[in-house]
Amino acid sequence: MTEALNFLPLQSLSQPEFIPMTRKDIDSLGWKEIDILLVTGDAYVDHPSFGAAIIGRVLIVAGYRVGLISQPNWRDKEALTIMGRPRLACAITSGNLDSMLNIYTPARRLRKDDDYSPGGKPGLRPPMALQVYSNLAKAAFPGLPVILGGIEASMRRIAHYDYWKDKILPSILLTSKADILIYGMGERAVLKTVEAVKAKKELKNIQGSAILLGEKQSKEFLASKLTDYTELPSFENIALNKQDFMDSHLIAEKESNPYCGKGLFQKYDKRIVVIEKPELPLSTEEMDAVYELPFANKPHPFYKEKIPAFEMIKNSITAVRGCPGGCSFCGLGLHQGKFVAQRSKNSILKSIRKLTELSTFRGTVSDIGGPTANVYGNSVRSMDKCKKCRRPSCLWPDICLNYIVDDHALSDILKQAANIEKVKHLFISSGIRLDLAEKQPETMRKIIHNHTSGHFKIAPEHLDDEVLKLMRKSKSDYFYEFIDKFRKETQSAGKEQYLVPYFISNFPGCNQEHMKKLDAFLIKSHWAPQQVQDFTPLPMTIASAMYYCETDTDRKPITVNKGLKYRREQLLVLKRKMPYSSKSKICRRSH
């Protein structure tokens, strides 16, 4: 298994059941010190759905001694010193979500719970957690290199709009004072970074990373040949000109292909942030090796209360990462990229067998998927063409002619997994792309008949094609066609099942006229959605640039609702309570 980690210099250090969290844990392993301290804003769950667990396990198998502190008291620097000073570096993530999204609602109000904390308790992480933890580490360990990572780092690596502060913020490298930022999934980049720290080399030219140069270094950088880098509008220009802000995001997106994209740089007065080109996606063999590392697949025994996010995914299996959709509002493309990395069938089945051996397993595998379940098995005709492509999406406005939609791979896995001993039920809970589903009749039939838990999740997002174009989503025709197919297949299976569509209100460019089409559908269907999302501009997404600039990507003015007073009308369309009709097997009213 580990031989497949060909990006990893393997050592003989054995993997502990859990990454140490206390001095006692370190002593029990016979370690005198730790090399790397991981700090995370989430509770520590040793499961591959949690980024800190993956990075910790990868570092340990590479021979580094790793300690982990979750949700430390950010008001006390001593909270980071319980295992002593790390020998090499402190690596920090705010968790599986951007901390501002985790803490605040789209109405900019404090959330009442935190799914990534024990008991769902809120208040265990600070706003702008990455910045706060980094400054805490700098105070606790003077001179120790600080490495940022995770989705908050990915989405705040350049100047960006922060919805909750309602202002343009610089790259988080400036406010965090961190030595290096790793964006993307990070397995390769974190190892290269730690190797450089160990060898006392400069932290530069590491693919998938960003650094802040000093004044002297910035002058030297500008004086060098910059053929491998593209300049973003400066922070000062962005603050004065909204179109420069839009340009910065479009340029960053254009250079996001790890095969043909260039590095980026952005000026901040006399200093420069340099962002290297993205790291390559993992191969299938590497994905298998990472997800087959000896995770405990449960929270650390330190916790006495359940962690809601873990309860949701504890019986699920990750099959893919990355998404070819390129939706303008989604942060996944900024973090995981549009190139899909997938595990082999044998590796997925191996993980299911391991799941069935857990004492907590009750016969149900809740999901086999990832960002989008039905991208599994899809491929391309020519990888050479992909390596030169700068399209933001493989599926929009139409499915690329070089993209091959597979209708057998996922179906085959479901068939074999369902026959594994102790597996009584096997469901697909990840979202389904409707444009791909239209070309996967066999797989969809199998999922609807045998692998739906009663609710089938899809994400049309909206029903007006003008809004869908701004979202970079497929036309509404796919949704209406899928409703008919779902109804027919459900009747054929002799089951009572419901579609659970996911809609977004107040998307930039969406006005009340656009909402009428969605409203009419809801009334006709006698339904109030289970899943309602008021648009939230996530940092560095194209949709956040549209929200801030109040234009589309072609600079044409669009309607943007800002402030709860102006957003309420569209949100109420989705939250309206309507009598449920038992004749409609399309959807189910919310509770």
Spell out the SS3 assignment of 309-378.
HHHHHCCEEECEECCCCCCCCCCHHHHCCCCCEECCHHHHHHHHHHHHCCCCCCCEECEEECCCHHHCCC
Q: Which of 158, 175, 208 is the last residue of a domain?
A: 208
pLDDT of residue 565: 86
Contact residues for 313 (Cβ-Cβ < 8 A; gap 6+): 47, 49, 366, 367
Clarify whether residues 203 and 324 are in a common domain.
no
Clarify whether residues 194 and 334 are in a common domain.
no
d(CA 3, CA 184): 23
pLDDT of residue 590: 30
How many domains does the chain fold into?
A: 2
pLDDT of residue 8: 57
d(CA 65, CA 57): 10
Q: What amino acid is encoded at 75 in this protein?
A: R
Contact 281, 340 (CB under 8 A): yes
d(CA 14, CA 493): 49
Task: Kindly report the number of other CB atoms within 10 A of residue 573's CB atom.
Answer: 19
Q: For position 370, which CATH number holds?
A: 3.80.30.20
Clarify whether residues 556 and 451 are in a common domain.
yes
pLDDT of residue 118: 98
Clarify whether residues 204 and 307 are in a common domain.
no
Q: Which of 185, 208, 231 is the last residue of a domain?
A: 208
d(CA 522, CA 171): 42
- Report yes or no on 504 lying in a domain: yes
- Report yes or no on 266 lying in a domain: no
Element (H, E) at 434: helix 434-437
- Report yes or no on 150 lying in a domain: yes
**Parent domain of 87:** 2-208
Return the SS3 of 404: strand
pTM of the full predicted structure? 0.94
- Report yes or no on 26 lying in a domain: yes
Clarify whether residues 309 and 195 are in a common domain.
no
Clarify whether residues 203 and 310 are in a common domain.
no
Clarify whether residues 445 and 316 are in a common domain.
yes
**What are the average pLDDT values for consecutive 10-residue runs of the chain, which has 591 residues?**
50 79 95 97 98 97 96 96 98 97 95 98 98 98 98 98 97 98 97 97 97 97 94 96 97 97 97 97 96 96 96 97 95 90 98 96 96 96 97 96 97 96 96 94 97 90 96 94 95 92 94 91 78 90 98 97 89 66 39 26
- Report yes or no on 284 lying in a domain: no
Contact 93, 146 (CB under 8 A): no
Clarify whether residues 372 and 521 are in a common domain.
yes
Q: What amino acid is encoded at 585 in this protein?
A: K
- Report yes or no on 289 lying in a domain: no
Clarify whether residues 185 and 317 are in a common domain.
no
- Report yes or no on 536 lying in a domain: yes
Clarify whether residues 377 and 521 are in a common domain.
yes
Contact 434, 483 (CB under 8 A): no
Peptide bond into 397 cis (omega under 30): yes
Contact 62, 36 (CB under 8 A): no
- Report yes or no on 252 lying in a domain: no
Clarify whether residues 393 and 524 are in a common domain.
yes
d(CA 437, CA 456): 13
